C-alpha cells in the first residue's frame, strides 16, 4: 500500500487551518476526506414469496442470526406485509429492504410498482426456494423493462435442503461429485424455468442462508461489491460486516489506505496543536482511528459478545483463548497513551536547535511514527479477526 508523505505545502495548509479555525476544524477536514462514504446511501431490495427465506437472507447479509437483537423475524408464516428497511448496525445508510412478493393480498400486479418504487434500489434480489413462479417472472420482466441491465439477481435459496433430500431413500452416500452434479441440475432448471418466461442471461445464485461460506452466498456479496458504482464501492465494503473472508480482506485494504491521510493530521496536531488533556494532541486522532479499525473488524466488546453467545462460551474465555488484545489498547485514553508511548521515538530536545526547518522535519517524523502505530495496530486487529473467524467456523462445525 502506498504511503504518502506530507508535503511542505500541505503542512502549511493544515497548520493554517489549525491556527485560524482551531483543532476541531482540522479534525473536520480529515473527517470529510476519510469518512465521505458514510454519507452515501445504498439500498438493496429482497423480494419473493413468503417462506422463501427473505428474512433469513437479510439477517445473514447483515451478519446477524435470527435471535440477535435487531434481526428480521424468521418464521414459517407470512410476516412481511409491507416494505420494511433494515439498517446496517454501523451504517444506517446501507439499507436492506424486505419487500413482500407480488400476489399477496396487499400487493397485486396492479399496484406493486407504484407501492414499491424500484428506482430507489441499487439491487433487487428475487428469492425463490423452488421454481420461480409466474408472479416472480412478471416482476422480473417489469424490472428489466424499466432498465435492461438492472442489477437483478435470481437467488435460489434452501439448496442445502435439495442436497439433503437427494440423500434420503438412498443407500449410497452421495459423493462430492454427486452433490456438484445436483447443484448444476438445480442451476440448469432455474435457467430453463426463467427462459420459458423469456428471461435470458439471468444472474442465478444458489444459497443456503445459514452457511455463508458454502454455495454462492459469498459470490453474491462479491457481486454486490463489484456491481455497485465506483463511487459507492468503498461505502459498500465498509458497510458490510466481515461476513465473508473477501469482505474482511477488502476492508483491511481500505483501512490501510487511510493511514497516510490520518497520519498527516495526527502529525500536524502533534507539532502545532495544544492538547487540552494530559496526553499529546495526536492521541485523539489516533485513538479514534484505531477504535474505528476495531469496530470495522468486529473486535469491539459488543461484537465479541455476540460471537461468544453463538459458540456458547464465556466472553472472558474467548478473549483469553484467542489472546485478543486490541480491545485493551483502545479501551481508554490512559491505556492508549501507554500503548502509544511504546512507539515514541522522537526526541523533543533534538529539534530546539533548528526552529525553522525543524518543524517541517518534525511533522514528517511524527507522521512516520503515527503511521507506524496505526499499521501495527491494524496488523494486530487483522490477525485477531482471522483467528476469530477460524475459531468460530471450527466451533460451529463441531456443534
Ligand X SMILES: Nc1nc2c(ncn2[C@@H]2O[C@H](COP(=O)(O)OP(=O)(O)O)[C@@H](O)[C@H]2O)c(=O)[nH]1
Give contact residues for ligand X (rule: CB under 6 A).
50-56, 74-76, 80, 157-158, 160-161, 207-210
Q: Burial, 309: exposed, middle or buried (Cβ in 10 Å; 0-12, 13-18, 19+)?
A: middle
SS3 state of residue 43: strand
Least distance CB 207 / ligand X (angstroms): 6
Please name the residues in contact with 371: beta carbons below 8 A apart, sequence gap of 6 or more: 3, 259, 260, 263
Cell numbers 445464485 label which residue?
205
| Cβ nearer to ligand X, comparing 65 with 380 | 65
Instruction: List the single partner that 83 binds among ligand X, Mg ion, none, CB under 5 to 8 Å by kind.
Output: none
Least distance CB 76 / ligand X (angstroms): 5
Least distance CB 82 / Mg ion (angstroms): 12
Please name the residues in contact with 157: beta carbons below 8 A apart, sequence gap of 6 or more: 52, 53, 56, 57, 127, 128, 129, 207, 208, 209
The residue within the footprint of Mg ion, chosen from 80, 91, 95, 239 (CB under 5 A), is: 80
Task: Give the three cell numbers for residue 110.
Answer: 396492479
- How far from 324 is each of 69, 249, 269, 327, CA to CA, in Å? 24, 19, 30, 7
Angle (CA) 289-292-297 rounded to 5° is 135
SS3 state of residue 124: strand
The answer to whether residue 55 forms part of the interface with Mg ion (CB under 5 A) is: yes
Using CB positions, name the residue nearest to Mg ion. Answer: 55
User: Which of 48-56, 113-121, 215-223, 349-357 is the region at the interface with Mg ion (rule: CB under 5 A)?
Assistant: 48-56
| Cβ nearer to ligand X, comparing 96 with 271 | 96
Least distance CB 19 / ligand X (angstroms): 57
Using CB positions, name the residue nearest to ligand X. Answer: 53
Least distance CB 52 / ligand X (angstroms): 4
| Entry field: residues in the chain | 399
- Rounded-to-integer distance, Cα 366 and Cα 344, Å: 9
| Cβ nearer to Mg ion, comparing 57 with 339 | 57
Q: Are 124 and 45 in contact (CB under 8 A)?
A: yes
Instruction: List the single partner that 157 binds among Mg ion, ligand X, none, CB under 5 to 8 Å by kind.
Output: ligand X
| Cβ nearer to ligand X, comparing 132 with 292 | 132
Neighbouring CB atoms inside 10 A of 334's CB total 10
Instruction: List the single partner that 269 binds among ligand X, Mg ion, none, CB under 5 to 8 Å by kind.
Output: none
| Cβ nearer to Mg ion, comparing 80 with 303 | 80
Instruction: List the single partner that 197 binds among ligand X, Mg ion, none, CB under 5 to 8 Å by kind.
Output: none
How far does Cα 339 stand from its chain's mean position?
Answer: 28
Least distance CB 68 / ligand X (angstroms): 14
- Rounded-to-integer distance, Cα 309 and Cα 305, Å: 6
| Cβ nearer to Mg ion, comparing 66 with 225 | 66
| Cβ nearer to Mg ion, comparing 80 with 326 | 80
Least distance CB 98 / Mg ion (angstroms): 6
Q: Which residues form the interface with Mg ion (CB under 5 A)?
A: 54-55, 79-80
Amino acid at each position: 500500500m502506498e504511503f504518502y508523505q506530507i508535503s511542505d505545502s500541505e503542512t502549511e495548509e493544515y497548520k493554517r487551518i489549525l491556527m485560524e479555525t482551531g483543532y476541531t476544524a482540522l479534525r473536520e477536514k480529515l473527517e470529510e476526506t476519510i469518512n465521505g462514504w458514510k454519507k452515501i446511501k445504498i439500498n438493496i431490495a429482497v423480494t419473493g414469496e413468503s417462506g422463501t427465506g427473505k428474512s433469513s437472507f437479510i439477517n445473514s447479509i447483515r451478519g446477524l442470526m435470527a435471535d440477535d437483537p435487531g434481526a428480521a423475524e424468521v418464521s414459517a408464516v407470512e410476516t412481511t406485509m409491507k416494505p420494511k428497511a433494515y439498517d446496517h448496525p454501523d451504517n444506517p445508510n446501507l439499507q436492506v429492504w424486505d419487500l413482500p412478493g407480488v400476489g399477496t393480498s396487499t400487493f397485486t400486479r396492479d399496484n406493486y410498482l407504484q407501492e414499491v418504487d424500484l428506482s430507489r434500489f441499487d439491487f433487487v434480489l428475487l428469492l425463490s426456494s423452488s421454481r420461480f413462479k409466474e408472479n416472480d417472472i412478471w416482476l422480473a420482466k417489469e424490472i428489466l423493462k424499466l432498465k435492461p441491465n438492472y442489477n437483478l439477481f435470481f437467488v435460489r435459496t434452501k439448496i442445502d435442503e435439495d442436497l439433503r433430500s437427494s440423500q434420503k431413500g438412498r443407500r449410497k452416500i452421495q459423493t462430492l461429485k454427486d452433490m456438484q452434479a445436483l447443484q448444476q441440475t438445480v442451476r440448469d432448471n432455474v435457467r430453463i424455468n426463467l427462459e420459458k418466461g423469456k428471461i435470458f442471461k439471468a444472474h442465478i445464485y444458489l444459497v443456503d442462508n445459514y452457511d455463508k461460506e458454502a454455495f454462492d452466498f459469498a459470490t453474491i456479496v462479491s457481486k454486490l461489491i463489484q456491481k455497485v458504482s465506483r463511487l459507492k464501492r468503498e461505502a459498500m465494503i465498509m458497510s458490510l460486516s466481515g461476513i465473508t473472508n473477501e469482505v474482511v480482506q477488502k476492508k483491511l485494504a481500505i483501512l490501510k489506505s487511510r493511514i497516510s491521510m490520518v497520519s498527516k493530521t495526527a502529525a500536524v496536531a502533534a507539532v502545532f496543536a495544544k492538547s487540552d488533556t494530559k496526553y499529546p494532541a495526536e492521541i485523539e486522532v489516533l485513538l479514534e482511528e484505531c477504535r474505528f479499525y476495531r469496530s470495522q473488524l468486529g473486535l469491539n466488546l459488543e461484537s465479541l459478545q455476540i460471537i461468544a453467545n453463538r459458540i456458547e462460551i464465556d466472553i472472558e474465555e474467548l478473549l483469553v483463548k484467542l489472546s485478543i488484545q486490541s480491545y485493551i489498547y483502545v479501551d481508554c485514553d490512559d491505556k492508549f497513551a501507554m500503548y502509544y508511548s511504546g512507539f515514541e521515538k522522537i526526541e523533543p530536545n533534538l529539534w530546539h536547535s533548528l526552529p525553522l526547518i525543524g518543524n517541517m522535519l518534525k511533522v514528517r517524523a511524527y507522521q512516520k511514527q503515527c503511521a507506524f502505530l496505526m499499521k501495527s495496530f491494524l496488523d494486530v486487529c487483522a490477525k485477531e479477526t482471522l483467528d476469530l473467524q477460524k475459531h468460530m467456523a471450527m466451533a460451529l462445525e463441531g456443534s
